[in-house]
Structures are given as structure tokens and as C-alpha cells.
Structure 1
Amino acid sequence: MTKRQFILHYFLLNKWSYLIAFVCIFLVNWLQVEIPRYIQQAIDLLGTAEAAAQHDLNRNVMFVVVFSLIMVGVRIMSRMFALNPGRITEAQLKNDLFFRLNRLPNAFHQKFASGKLISIINNDLNGIRLFYGIGFLQLVNVIFALSLTPIWMWRISPSLMLYSVIPVVLAFFVFNQGFIRMRKYHTQRMHRLQRLSEQLMNYLSGIDLIKNQQMGPWVKQEINRVNEELLDTIMRVTRIQTFIMPLLDYANDLMKVVILGLGGYMLLQQNLTLGEITAFLSYSALLALPLAQLGRIAVVYQMGMVSVESVQSILNAEIPKIDLQASSESESSTTQTLSVRDLTFAYPGQDSPTLRNVSFDIQPGEKVGVLGSIGSGKSTLVNCINHHLDVPAGHIFWGEEDIAQMPRRHWRRFIRTMTQEPYLFSDTVEANIRFGTEGESIDRGQVEEVLSLSQLAEDVSRFQSGDQTLVGEKGIMLSGGQKQRLSIARALLSPADLIIMDNVLSAVDYETERKILGGLFNRIGDQSVLVVSHRISALESLDKILVLHEGEVIARGTHEELLANSDYYRETWELQQHDVEEQV
């Protein structure tokens, strides 16, 4: 979508509201230029003592009062119908952006930091809201004011009108130069604001590390540097707005001086009446606000154009075509087999692949484990299976379907992935468990059941407000083990054909681990499970275990078979048994 198409698309979203606002603004401006005409006639009738003149005077005054009252009502309507579209467009754009961000692949999010995306949604959308709201109102108002008012001034005196606009023309020349420079600084301001937001997000996420490593002074220095750059850009914009944009206001004041001086001379020469001079001054006053608004329109326009470019970086990002397809709404089937065939995966820019020729099957209801040390490729394998990473076609199948040819939303209806570092929302324990199940009929008893299965019920019972306790941002009020168990409870609440557990029990002790796995396997029944861990105690009761080392499967079999046939597995088991004995 080009910039022109973008502007037109969201403009047509509120076309009827804009049409009503357009008519109302025209009526307001027409009434504004009509009122001085009746004032002119009333002033010229003041020196006449005839009865007919008195009647005309009263009639002119009545028109002024009635037109003024009508103008107040119409002006209110013009504000309503012109400003509301800005808010409506902002709301629609937020929905469109979230829709897009939710469907863009992982490759996009690796390029755009969360802080930058937050800055676009929170800050840049303000510029678009002003562009479609106050920007439209002021632009249409200026167009009508600068077209109707000079016509009525021309009717009174063409020569006086031409002389009076000379200051305005000169001011416009200087104004245009400031307008060009301001566009550059607004773009610079947007990028520096995004950079500041990005850094703040990074530092807040690593606040514990910053405190532990005494990095506070360095962080403060970095924030100050970026903040000073942003301040410098804002001050440049402010100088233009302060010293160049007000030139139009000064031009209007100079125009009034010309009108009084030249108009007074023409009055003495009896080329103009006192009423005409008064009307001419009234028209010049009507031009003051539109001329002042030109500076604000320039600011709003620049902010809007820069914001549109920023938002388009998200809206124009390409969603894989397969993810745009409508997913099937059929119920998932527990009779499917997950097949991984000769999977080799390398991250962009990586010389050697992280996974090499990995192959295995998970039959319906089968419990499979993956053992591997840090850096062996476990999490990469998980992210390939749940299609978080872009997997080449022909390597991972769900039954007969290639997951690379399935929409991600459709595929993730069949699986649940529990990660080592779950994301928790700043809400209650219960709300975090229920997250994503709003459309399902889940009673409180089911919530309590999964709390018990995840070995979290006893901890929750000690909380002051039970499962209504707020966990804080990212679950800051919970320990690492409690976070992991809460994520397990969340995954168990709604059924899935395949459950993937990616090292989710690393923060709990061995006894709690056994209890959780025992309850988990009893709960899920014939559902398939893939347990990824570096601890053999989490895998020894599974149907099959794969040993992953440096991206390759070097052994496979049951716990007993691997102890007998795999030196790597047996040595790892002996080391971990020693750790268990020390804990006991």
C-alpha cells in the first residue's frame, strides 16, 4: 500500500462523517463572511433618521444575531463530525497493526525491537489521529476562509484588497522554507523517539542484571545521550515553530495596518464608507485565524506524513501467503502422527546449521523425550516443530500434511508449547491460567484441577488473595518455579493433540518434577507429548528418548536401552544421579 493509498483508504473509512463536516464548515465560513456585510449596512444606516432606515437597521441587527446563533450550532456540529474520525481511524489502525503483528513471522520481529513497535503504536499513531482529525478540520476551514473572505473583500475594494495581501505573500515565501526544514526534523525526531523507547525497554527488561553488575551509571549515561539527541531535534522543531511559523500572524497584523492607513485615506477621499472600512477590518480579522492555522496545519501535516511512513513499515511487511489462508475449523484429530524427516536448519547468517538431519516420529498418544545439553539445538527443534521459525517444506508433517504448508494459526490449534521462560500478564493467577480460553466453557473446578496437577495449588493457597492474587508484570511476584508451574497449568486447561514441554521444569526440584510429570501424564491420557530437557529424571519414564548433541541425534531408545548402549547418556545420568544424592 503506497502512502497515497493509505491516506485514501482510511479517509474513506469515515467518508460520510467527513462529508457532513465539509458542509458544516462551508456554512460556518459563509455565515462568517455574511455577518460583516450586515454590520456594514447597519453602520451606514446609523446617520439616517428616516423611519425606513430605522427598520432596515433593526433588520440588519436581527440578521447578525440570528446568523451568529446558527453559526454557533453549525460550528459545534462541524467539530463533532471532523474530529471524531481521527479517533475512529486511530482505533482501526491499532486493530490493523495488532492483526498484522500477530501474523508476521519471527523474521520480522527479529528486525524490529519491541520498544520501537511500542513507540510506533503509542506515539506515531497520535500524529495520524491529528492528521485525520484536527488536520482535516483546519485544512478545510482554511481553504474556505482563504477563498470566501478575499472575494467579499474584493467586492468592497479591489485595490485595498490587493495592497493588503502583499505582507501575506511575502510571509508565505519564508513560511515555505521553514516548512521544508521542519519535515526533515520531524522524521529525525520520530526515529530518535523510537530509539529511546527501544533502549528503555531493553534496560527495563534487564534491570536485575544492571543492578547486580553495578551498571547504573553507564545506563544513565547512555539514556542521557539518546535523550539529548532527541531534545536537540525537538528544540530545532520548536525554533522553527517559534520564529518562522508566526510570520503569518505578523503578516496579518501588518495587513491590518495597511487597511487602516490606506483605508483611512480612501475614507477621507470618500471612496469608501465607514461601514465598508469596518467590514473590511472584520474580514481581515476573519483571515487572522486561518493564517495562524496554516502553521499548525504544517506541523500536523508533517507529523502525519512521518507517522504514516512509520506505520507503513508494519502494514507493508509481508505476511507469508500461507498464513493468510482461512484455516479449517474442523476438530483436531488425535490419530495423527508427527513426523520429522531429515530436518536441517540454520539461522540467517550462520555458517553451520544448528540442526543436522534430525528424524523421528511421535505416534498418537506416545510420550517422547529429547535430551541435550545447552546449545545442542533443543529449543531450535521446538521452534521448528511449532512453526515459530520458518521451516523448509518437506521436513515436518502432521499426518499427511506438511506444516510448512499449513497456516500457523491452524497448526497451533493442534499443539500447546510450554516454554522455560513463560510470559505472564500483570493480572490474577486465575486470569493468567484462563488466558486464551475466553471462548471456551471452563468452570472454576477445572482451574483448581490444573493448579493441583501443576503442583501450584499449595503455593496459591498461601497467597493472601488465593488465585485472585496479582502476579505483577511478567510474573515478578512469583518465583521461577512458580512461573513455570503456572504456565503448565495454563497449557493443561484446554486440550491439545500434541503438548511440547521445553525445559519447563528446570526451576523445580526433582521431587516436584516427578509429581508434576505424573499428574500431567494422568491428565493428558492419550495425547502426544514431547518433553525437552537436560535432566534425565524428566525423561526416564517416557516411551522413547532422543539424545541430541551438537544438532544431531546420536542415540535413541528407552531409558534402559540408552543406559546400556549410549556412553553419552550413561555418563550424563551418572553425573545427575550424583547431584540428586547431594540434594537428598
Structure 2
Amino acid sequence: MTKSKFIIHYLLLNKYSYLCAIVCIFVVNYLQVEIPRFIQLAVDLLNESTTESKAGLLENVQWVIALSVIMIVVRILSRMYSLNPGRITEATLKNDVFHRLNRLPSTFHERYASGKLISIINNDLTGIRLFYGIGFLQLFNILFALSLTPIWMWRISPELTLYCVIPIVVASIIFWLGYRKLRALHSERLIRLQNLSEQLMNYLSGIDLIKNQQMGDWVTSEVNKVNRHLFDCTMKIAKIQTFFMPILDYANHFMKVLILGLGGYYLLQAELTIGEITAFLSYSVLLALPLMHLGRIATVYQMGMISIDSVQNILNSEVPSTDLLRMDDDEKSSLRGSALFVKNLSYRYPNTEDDHNDVILKDISFSIEAGEKVGVLGSIGSGKSTLVNCLNHHLSLESGHVFWGKKDITHMSRHDWRSYVRTITQDPFLFSDTISENIKFGAKQQYDEHHKQQQHPATNDLDVEQVLELSQLKEDVQRFGAGDQTLVGEKGIMLSGGQKQRLSIARALLTPSDLIIMDNVLSAVDYETERTILKGVFNRIQGQSLLVVSHRVSALEYMDKILVLEKGEIIARGTHTELLKNSRYYRETWELQQHESEANS
């Protein structure tokens, strides 16, 4: 979507409100130029003492009061109809941006850090809100004021009107020079804000490391550098706004001096009356207000245009075509309970050299039948997490390698594919909410979608207490004062590493899925707790498939089959008993971990 189409699209979103606002703004400006005309008539009648003049004076004053009251009411309506769409547009854009961010692949998020995206959502969308709100209001205020007011001034004195135009023209030229410089600085400032937000997010994420390594002074220095760049840019903007933007206000003051000086001369020449000069001064004020707001609307316009560019970088980013597809309920139902087939899967991360050593996965092939429990054993750097991210389609794959039944997962949207597969990662993300709400996050929607094509009788209705017990977290939760209503803090800061992992297991077990992938999620618990959790998981997911990825043999000994992964290749496969006999790597790993377990106990 081009910028012009973007602007028109969101303008039409509130077209009726904007139409009402235009009508109200026109009425307000028309009443503003009419009121001085009655003031002129009233002032000219002050010098007369007849009964008719007094009646005329009273009538004109009444008209001024009545029109002023009407103008106040209509002005309030104009602000409601013109400012509310800005809020509506901001809310709609936030939903659109979040919806797009949720559908964009991992390659996009690798280019845009979270801090930069947060800055765009906060700062840039505020600029767009002002653009569609106060920007719209002031634009039509200026258009109507600058078209109606000079006409009424011309009716009183064409010569005086022309003299008043001279300082306005000179000031407008100076204003335009400052405006051009200001636009570049506003663009730079938003980029500086994004950089600062990105850096702060990075440092806050690693605050524990910074404290432990006593890196506080260095971090403070780095933040100060970025903040200084932002400060310098902001000061440049302030200087231009201080010296260039008020030039129109100065022109207004000079215009008033001209009106008083030349108006006094015309009064002495009997070419103007006191009432006409009074009305002309009123019109000069009406002409000055939009000129004073011109600086503000220029700033709002600049921020809006720059902010639209930033938001369009998100909205115009390409979503994979398959992610735009949605399977119907019958097709989803037909794929329930399918087997997973991996055929000759190789993977190299983008932007790496075309070198054999850069291939993370090399010709991987295996299958997971419906209801089968499969384990993957591998050391750090063997490619376990890359394999998981390929299977759940977090990474972009070539077609023809991973199938769900007969369906290639690259021909399915990620949304549809993840209704079949549930991944529990070794770094669970927890929200600053209660334990119960963290477990139930997204569960209701997943539960409803799954039960439209229910195939598994094993999973009961949503039962937080049950999954807490299965994940061996129930006793820990009972020790908390508020039970499962305990707040876990930001990113689960109130919980230990093992508690976080068990909570993520409880979250995955709460709602049904066809395949559960556990990516090294038991690394922070002891061996006995690990066995107990796995037994509970086995009982819970009868009829569902399970893939457990771990560097611990103890987590895999009860699997139907185990794959041994080393340097991106499967070097052995079989049951626990078979691998102890046939795989030297597996046997040595098992013996080493048995010695560690005995030593720890």
C-alpha cells in the first residue's frame, strides 16, 4: 500500500465523522467572521443617542451573544467529530500492526528488534493519531479562516487588506525555510527514539548479567551516548521552533501595528469608521490564529508523514503466501491424528556462506506415528533446537521435507499447522500475571478450535489444578500465599528456572494437540522430578504424539524410539536398550550421566 492509499484508507475509516467535522468547522469559521460585523454596527451606533440607535445597539449585542453561544456549541461538536477519529485510527492501526507482526516470519523479527517495534507502536502511532486528529482539525480551520476572513476584511478596506498581506508573505517565506529543515530533524529524532528504545530493551533483558558482572558504569555510558544524540537532535528542533516558527506570530503583531497606524490615518480622512477599524482588528486576530497554528500543523504533518513511513515498513512487509491461507473444518478434521514424516531435511541459516560446515542439519529423515513417543538426544550445538524450529515451522523451509500425513507443512499456514503441534521451549515466556492466567493463556481459543474436529478422547475440559499436578508444580503453588492466583512478575521473575519450565509444561498440557514437542524443558529439574513429570505427561496425552528433545538420556529411556543427533546428523536410532548395545556415543553419555546422578544424590 502506497502512502497516499494508506492516508485515504484510514481517512475513509471515519468518513462520516470527518464530513460532520468539516461542516461544523465551516459553521464555526463563518460565525467567527459574522460576529465582528455586528460588533462594527454596535460600535458605530455608540455615538448616536436616538431611540432607534439604542434599539439597534441592543439588537446587535443580542446577535453577538446568540452567535457566540451557537459558535461554542458547534466548536465543541467540531472537535468531537475531528479528534475522535484520530483515537479510532490509532486503535485500529495498533490492531493492524499487531496482527501483521503476529503473522510475519522470523526473518522480519531478526531485522527489527523488539525495542524498535515498541518505539514505533508508541511514538509513531501517536504521531499518526495527531495527524488524523488535530492535524485534520487545524487544516480545515486554516483553510476556512484564510479564505473567509480576507473576504470580510476586503469588504471593509481593500487597501488596508493588501498592506496586511505584505508581512504575512515575508513571514511565510522564512517559515518555509525552517519547515524544510524541521522535517529532516523530526525524521532523525524518531530514529533516535527507536535506537534508544532498542538499547534499553537489550540492557533491561540482561539486567541480572549487568549487575553480576558489575557493568553498570559501562551500560550507563552507552545509554548516555545514545541519549545525547537524541538530546542534540531535540535541541536543534527546539531552536528552529523557537526562531523560525514564531515568525508568523511576529508578522501578526506587525499587522496589528499597520492596522492601527493606517487605520487611524483612514479614520482621520473619514474613509473608515471606528466600528470598521474595531472589526478589522477583530479580523486580524481571526487571521492570526490560523497563522499561529500553521507552525503546529506543520509539525504534526511532518511527524505524521514520517510515522506513516515507519508503520508502513511493518504493514507492507511480505507475509508468506501460505500464511494467508486457511483450511476449512473438514480438511482440518481429516488431518487429525496424522503421522509426522521428515524426509532428507537439511538446513542452513540465511546469510551464511555456502559452505558444508555452515549446514546445521544434514539429510535428516525419521517419522513420528500417531500416538508414538520419540526422543532426540544430542549435545549442545548438535542441531536439536534448529530441528525443533524446522518442525514447528518457526524457520522458513523448502517444500518437500516435512509432512503431516500427506500434507506438506510448507503448504499450510503457520496458524493451521500450530493447531496440530504444540512446542514447549527451554526458555518459556511468562506474562506479568497470575500463575492460573499464564497457564490458560490462549487456551480457550485453542480448545474451541480443536474440539470442532475432536479426535482425542483423552483430554478433559480446562483443569488448571490437574495440569499443575501433572507438571509437579502443585506443591510449589500451594506454598505460595495466593495459590494459583500468585503473580509471577515480569517474565516470571518470582519463579525459579525449574518452576518456569514446569509452568510451561502445564500450559501445553491444558489444551489438546496432536503432537507435543518438548525442547530440553526439563534441564532445570532433578532426575527424579524429570521422570515423574514424564510419566504424568504420558498418562495425560495417551493417543497423542510426543517428541522429547534433550541432552539427558534419563529423559528419553521410556521413549518408543530415540534418535541420536551429532553435528546435525542422525548417527544412531532405536530404543533405549538397543542403543545401549549398538551406540557407543549413547552408551558413554548414559554412563557419564549415571555417575553424575549418583554423585549428586
The TM-score normalised by the length of structure 2 is 0.96
Residues 1:398 and 2:398 aligned together: no
Deviations 1:420-462 (Å, cap 9, x if unpaired)? Answer: 0100000000000101123448999711110000000000010
The aligned residue for residue 85 of structure 2 is 85
Letter in 1 for 2:371: G
Per-residue deviation at 1:7?
0.7
Match of 2:510 among 493, 503, 513: 493
Per-residue deviation at 1:51?
2.9
Deviations 1:465-490 (Å, cap 9, x if unpaired)? Answer: 10000000000000000000000000
Deviations 1:51-94 (Å, cap 9, x if unpaired)? Answer: 33333222211111111110010011001111000100000000
- CA distance in 1 between counterparts of 2:246 and 2:185 reads 18
Match of 1:376 among 382, 399, 405: 382
Deviations 1:205-227 (Å, cap 9, x if unpaired)? Answer: 01111111111111000000000
Residues 1:195 and 2:212 aligned together: no
Match of 2:493 among 476, 490, 515: 476
Per-residue deviation at 1:141?
0.4
Match of 2:359, SS state, is: coil
Residues 1:347 and 2:353 aligned together: no
Q: Report if the CA contact (8 A) 1:105-1:320 is conserved.
A: yes
- CA distance in 2 between counterparts of 1:166 and 1:327 reads 68
Match of 2:367 among 345, 348, 361: 361
Residues 1:507 and 2:524 aligned together: yes
Match of 2:427, SS state, is: coil
Q: Report if the CA contact (8 A) 1:376-1:550 is conserved.
A: yes
- CA distance in 2 between counterparts of 1:243 and 1:445 reads 64
Structure 1 regions of 5+ residues with no counterpart? none
Deviations 1:106-154 (Å, cap 9, x if unpaired)? Answer: 0000000000000000111110010100111111101111110000000
Q: Report if the CA contact (8 A) 1:563-1:570 is conserved.
A: yes
Distance 1:294 1:443, change over 3 A: farther
Q: Report if the CA contact (8 A) 2:477-2:483 is conserved.
A: yes
The aligned residue for residue 40 of structure 1 is 40
The aligned residue for residue 456 of structure 2 is none
Deviations 1:235-273 (Å, cap 9, x if unpaired)? Answer: 111111111101100100000000000110011001111
Deviations 1:166-201 (Å, cap 9, x if unpaired)? Answer: 111100000000100000000000001000000000
- CA distance in 2 between counterparts of 1:94 and 1:355 reads 38
Match of 1:428 among 417, 429, 434: 434
- CA distance in 1 between counterparts of 2:47 and 2:216 reads 80
- CA distance in 1 between counterparts of 2:10 and 2:272 reads 49
Per-residue deviation at 1:334?
4.5
More moved, 63-72 vs 431-440: 431-440
Match of 1:178, SS state, is: helix
The aligned residue for residue 556 of structure 1 is 573
- CA distance in 2 between counterparts of 1:334 and 1:561 reads 31
Q: Report if the CA contact (8 A) 1:119-1:194 is conserved.
A: yes
The aligned residue for residue 559 of structure 2 is 542
The aligned residue for residue 186 of structure 1 is 186
Structure 2 regions of 5+ residues with no counterpart? 449-458
The aligned residue for residue 582 of structure 1 is 599
The aligned residue for residue 307 of structure 1 is 307
Residues 1:521 and 2:538 aligned together: yes
Per-residue deviation at 1:377?
0.4
- CA distance in 2 between counterparts of 1:336 and 1:162 reads 83
- CA distance in 1 between counterparts of 2:555 and 2:409 reads 28
- CA distance in 2 between counterparts of 1:54 and 1:445 reads 82
The aligned residue for residue 410 of structure 1 is 416
- CA distance in 1 between counterparts of 2:224 and 2:462 reads 52
Deviations 1:298-321 (Å, cap 9, x if unpaired)? Answer: 111111111111111100100011
- CA distance in 2 between counterparts of 1:397 and 1:363 reads 12
Superposed counterparts of 1:41-60, under 5 Å: 41-60=41-60
Match of 2:337 among 305, 311, 335: 335
The aligned residue for residue 454 of structure 2 is none
Q: Report if the CA contact (8 A) 2:337-2:544 is conserved.
A: no
- CA distance in 2 between counterparts of 1:438 and 1:9 reads 34
Letter in 1 for 2:520: N
Match of 1:381, SS state, is: helix
- CA distance in 1 between counterparts of 2:104 and 2:500 reads 27
- CA distance in 1 between counterparts of 2:351 and 2:15 reads 48
Match of 2:398, SS state, is: coil
Q: How many residues align?
A: 584
Per-residue deviation at 1:38?
0.9
The aligned residue for residue 254 of structure 2 is 254
Letter in 2 for 1:15: K
Q: Report if the CA contact (8 A) 1:334-1:527 is conserved.
A: no
Match of 1:529, SS state, is: strand
Match of 1:92, SS state, is: helix
- CA distance in 1 between counterparts of 2:426 and 2:74 reads 61
Deviations 1:508-548 (Å, cap 9, x if unpaired)? Answer: 00000000001110110010000000000000110000000
- CA distance in 2 between counterparts of 1:427 and 1:335 reads 34
- CA distance in 2 between counterparts of 1:450 and 1:326 reads 31
Q: Report if the CA contact (8 A) 1:420-1:484 is conserved.
A: yes
Q: Report if the CA contact (8 A) 1:433-1:486 is conserved.
A: yes
The aligned residue for residue 274 of structure 1 is 274
Superposed counterparts of 1:66-77, under 5 Å: 66-77=66-77
- CA distance in 1 between counterparts of 2:461 and 2:250 reads 69
The aligned residue for residue 22 of structure 1 is 22
The aligned residue for residue 453 of structure 2 is none
Q: Report if the CA contact (8 A) 1:426-1:473 is conserved.
A: yes
Letter in 1 for 2:377: L
Q: Report if the CA contact (8 A) 2:192-2:229 is conserved.
A: yes
Distance 1:396 1:443, change over 3 A: closer
- CA distance in 2 between counterparts of 1:51 and 1:334 reads 95
The aligned residue for residue 4 of structure 1 is 4
Per-residue deviation at 1:567?
1.1
The aligned residue for residue 160 of structure 1 is 160
The aligned residue for residue 204 of structure 2 is 204
- CA distance in 1 between counterparts of 2:329 and 2:169 reads 65
- CA distance in 2 between counterparts of 1:328 and 1:182 reads 52
Match of 1:556, SS state, is: strand
Q: Report if the CA contact (8 A) 1:327-1:409 is conserved.
A: no
Letter in 1 for 2:423: T
Superposed counterparts of 1:284-299, under 5 Å: 284-299=284-299
- CA distance in 2 between counterparts of 1:573 and 1:511 reads 16
Distance 1:20 1:443, change over 3 A: farther
Q: Report if the CA contact (8 A) 1:328-1:410 is conserved.
A: no
Q: Report if the CA contact (8 A) 2:467-2:506 is conserved.
A: yes
Q: Report if the CA contact (8 A) 2:462-2:511 is conserved.
A: no
Match of 1:455, SS state, is: coil
Per-residue deviation at 1:165?
1.5
Q: Report if the CA contact (8 A) 1:535-1:576 is conserved.
A: yes
